[in-house]
Copies of this chain bind each other. A is one copy, B any other.
């Protein structure tokens, strides 16, 4: 988001030189990133098990405090790079969470971002304290609400702070934007079939979509380019591979 700053005049420069930023108490400012990917037709989010207080042992979104010289989006990318080894990921601001009691340590405002990435780029990063947890969205349509992350036994994972609400906001945003913004592609590899894209939409929306009209809409959108290649190693007629036109 670019903006023009007025040129300061001399009087203003004198004021700025004497300005004391520590005059008021400041809350802490963090970014939390909802890294979403698709595995087995289901949305998964990257979660880290907290290895320190507070809420030791619960599962948290990757996040970090915002540096004094970086933009919010840069902070989100830094978090992804540090905690998931990912660069060049699609990232978008989600919502800013600032309830006074959301962090028991002190006042922490969190600017949440969501990131979308193809599974192949992240499936290797799982270890004991870091999971791609399947999400269960317990509401439909435009309702919204917290989202449940599942552990390997299918039981809900304990989520830290208000991170269930952040996940819920991400799921809601994704569902809302999917139909009019080109974001489904971000969860797929470079080239993909229409069926794969449809599966992405179905997983995100939590419902089946009509095959015929989905194909028509996607092809009519003008954002897909046929590669001329076809998928292989499938047990049926191979489908055309498409590429997303940026």
* Distance (whole angstroms) from the CB of A73 to the closest CB of chain B: 8
- In the complex, identify which listed stretch (A5-13, A122-130, A191-199, A217-225) lies at the interface while the others stay far away: A5-13
- In the complex, identify which listed stretch (A35-43, A63-71, A236-244) lies at the interface while the others stay far away: A63-71
* Bound form: Cα–Cα A101–B12 in Å: 15
Assess whether B56 is in contact with A11, with CB atoms less than 8 Å apart.
yes
* Bound form: Cα–Cα A157–B102 in Å: 39
- In the complex, identify which listed stretch (A23-31, A82-90, A204-212, A226-234) lies at the interface while the others stay far away: A23-31
What B residues does A28 contact at CB under 8 A?
21, 24, 26
A165 close to B (CB within 8 Å) = yes
The quantity of this chain's copies bound in the complex is: 2
How many residues of A are in contact with the other chain, CB < 8 A?
Answer: 54
* Bound form: Cα–Cα A220–B57 in Å: 50
Assess whether A72 is in contact with B56, with CB atoms less than 8 Å apart.
no
Contact partner, A54, options B8, B21, B24, B56, Cβ 8 Å: B8
What B residues does A169 contact at CB under 8 A?
1
B-binding residues in A (CB < 8 A): 1-6, 8, 11-12, 15-16, 19, 21, 24-29, 53-56, 58, 65-66, 68-72, 93, 95-102, 104-107, 109, 111, 146, 158, 160-162, 164-165, 169
